[in-house]
């Protein structure tokens, strides 16, 4: 027997002996019996790493998969860092095994002497984030893979402030996970206690989001899709409690389904994902199209066009509309924040209205920590946290609160005979047209990304896409006053900007582009000029990166 196969088989047998799940036991038993080296290597030669996003990966047996052993080890690591007597709230979505993983987490935590509170069913991630602070818990866990493919699941950890964990806490939990022994030797279900929460926690969340600054306009017809996720019931209740007409949901996508049968990829940003919602909007004569991703922490927005079809707004466009609404409906010393890859428009809005502005690394875990008085934060990937004078009810992305606030803005515009597109034109006239786009390169060999970043760092080109390079920030050195991270930010002439960084979750190199065009004629003419500039930047970057 080959030495590498012998080692893999030994590791697989040890894993099999402690695995409580009949599904993954059967899978692994077959691989061992068949001595399937490639499959065993894929599962046992590496492991899912616990980071600031927790864990996320494909379901299956072994340390490089999401399964009950992996989840129990994660829970045991969290318990070790927190210590006995601490309180953890646990939530989960409707993906395959999510409810099982949530129960396993509760069993391990209570076995370690902690108190666990379990949400009453599959619910949006923002309900969990809200519940951590609302119940004055020490931490929270939600089992979700957000908008990943159907075969994936994940494990996200929140700290007592209701936001996602950041360093050094993630490193402490990761080290504690590595120290966990066999999971079949972990004490389970006591001496700690388990509380199964009732619907009252959802009612409390709804009371918080419907207290957001929503104005008084309510005449609006909405077409909506939860994309087979868990958002429908909570969003519907939020709209009705706020006084809106009940959104009409895409029937084929209304109920949770972990197989996501009507979409190739359950992400509202993906081509085709919004087709059924657009068709429903046309049938109903809707004023607005809204979508949540499967765990309802993100919100997509579309505006039906008079001639047919739907114009989907970018995350930056929605961010600009939400920001101005929140700023004009709140008072006092406030801050708004976004990330280095989002539009620079938010900074200009903040200056115009006299509020503080924060810019962070990518990820809501950083946005939420931008500074005191935060009333609005967003990232270009359709994530928004909406606040009021009382602050942020959810210290993470909240697709329900965002949808509700967008509806309020659209209803006020409709009362004036206008749409969100008119409001975007207004902003373009006031601040210049800020057009953003992305360019992504997926690779099979991660060394190609490292080589591309090295080429860029040694390339002292004076221009990109016909625009002069005025400054280059190497984010790995902490340029710009941010924590070091692998990336480059180009400041270009005419207020344009490019950020290039490796993805933190996928084998991709991502480029975030922004151009700013003054509106001297019509906004549409400015958009045409902006698209031409973005196309030139994309062509130049593609050539320089060589991917």
Active site residues: 146
Instruction: Tell me which H or E stretch contains 473.
Output: strand 467-474
SS (H, E, C) 395-424: CCCCHHHHHHHHHHHHHHHHHCCCCHHHHH
For helices 420-431 and 345-353, the axis angle rounded to 10 degrees is: 80
φ/ψ bin of 354: left (φ > 0), alpha (ψ from -120 to 50), beta (otherwise): left
Nearest-CA neighbor of 274 among 308, 312, 247? 312
Pair 74, 55: CB distance under 8 Å: yes
Q: At 397, phi and psi to the nearest 5?
A: -60, 140
- Structure-block tokens of residue 542: 């593609």
Pair 357, 351: CB distance under 8 Å: yes
Pair 419, 412: CB distance under 8 Å: no
Return d(Cα 498, Cα 477) in angstroms, integer. Answer: 17
Q: At 213, phi and psi to the nearest 5?
A: -70, 100
What's the gap between Cα 118 and its chain centre?
22
Instruction: Report H helices in 495-547.
Output: 523-545
φ/ψ bin of 466: left (φ > 0), alpha (ψ from -120 to 50), beta (otherwise): left
Q: At 193, phi and psi to the nearest 5?
A: -120, 150
Q: Which positions ≥6 away from 38 have C-beta within 8 Å?
A: none
């Amino acid at each position: 027997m080959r030495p590498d196969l012998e080692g893999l088989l030994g590791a697989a047998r040890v894993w099999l002996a402690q695995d409580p799940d009949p599904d993954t036991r059967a899978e692994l038993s077959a691989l061992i019996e068949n001595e399937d080296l490639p499959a065993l290597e894929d599962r046992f030669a590496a492991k899912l790493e616990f980071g600031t996003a927790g864990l996320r990966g494909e379901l299956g047996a072994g340390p490089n998969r999401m399964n009950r052993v992996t989840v129990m080890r994660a829970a045991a690591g969290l318990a070790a860092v927190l210590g006995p007597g601490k309180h953890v709230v646990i939530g989960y979505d409707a993906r395959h095994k999510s409810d099982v993983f949530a129960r396993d987490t509760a069993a391990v935590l209570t076995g370690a002497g902690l108190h666990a509170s379990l949400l009453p069913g599959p619910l949006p991630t923002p309900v969990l984030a809200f519940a951590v602070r609302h119940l004055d818990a020490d931490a929270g866990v939600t089992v979700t893979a957000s908008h990943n493919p159907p075969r994936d699941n994940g494990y996200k950890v929140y700290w007592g402030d209701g936001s996602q964990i950041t360093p050094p806490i993630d490193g402490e939990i990761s080290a504690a996970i590595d120290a966990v022994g066999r999971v079949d030797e972990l004490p389970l279900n006591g001496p700690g206690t388990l509380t199964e929460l009732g619907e009252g926690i959802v009612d409390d969340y709804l009371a918080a989001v419907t207290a957001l600054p929503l104005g008084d306009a309510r005449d609006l017809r909405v077409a909506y899709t939860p994309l087979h996720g868990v958002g429908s019931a909570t969003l519907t209740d939020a709209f009705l409690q706020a006084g809106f007409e009940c959104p009409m949901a895409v029937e084929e996508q209304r109920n949770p389904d972990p197989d996501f049968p009507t979409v190739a990829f359950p992400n509202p940003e993906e081509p085709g994902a919004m087709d059924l919602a657009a068709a429903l909007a046309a049938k109903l004569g809707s004023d607005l199209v809204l979508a949540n991703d499967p765990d309802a922490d993100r919100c997509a927005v579309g505006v039906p066009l008079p001639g047919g079809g739907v114009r989907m707004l970018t995350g930056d466009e929605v961010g600009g509309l939400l920001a101005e609404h929140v700023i004009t409906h709140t008072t006092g010393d406030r801050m708004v924040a976004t990330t280095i890859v989002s539009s620079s428009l938010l900074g200009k809005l903040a200056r115009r209205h006299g509020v503080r502005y924060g810019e962070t690394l990518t990820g809501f875990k950083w946005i939420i920590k931008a500074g005191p008085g935060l009333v609005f934060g967003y990232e270009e990937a359709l994530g928004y946290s909406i606040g009021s004078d009382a602050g942020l009810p959810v210290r993470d992305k909240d697709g329900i609160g965002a949808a509700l606030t967008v509806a309020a803005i659209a209803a006020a515009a409709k009362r004036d005979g206008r749409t969100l597109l008119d409001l975007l034109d207004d902003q373009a006239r006031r601040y210049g047209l800020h057009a953003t786009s992305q360019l992504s390169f997926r690779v099979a060999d991660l060394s190609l990304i490292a080589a591309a970043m090295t080429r860029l760092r040694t390339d002292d080109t004076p221009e990109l896409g016909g625009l002069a390079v005025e400054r280059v920030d190497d984010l790995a050195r902490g340029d710009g006053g941010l924590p070091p991270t692998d990336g480059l930010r180009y400041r270009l002439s005419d207020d344009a900007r490019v950020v290039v960084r490796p993805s933190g979750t996928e084998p991709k190199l991502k480029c975030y582009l922004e151009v700013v065009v003054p509106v001297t004629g019509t906004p549409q003419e400015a958009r045409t000029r902006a698209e031409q500039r973005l196309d030139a930047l994309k062509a130049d970057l593609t050539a320089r990166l060589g991917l």
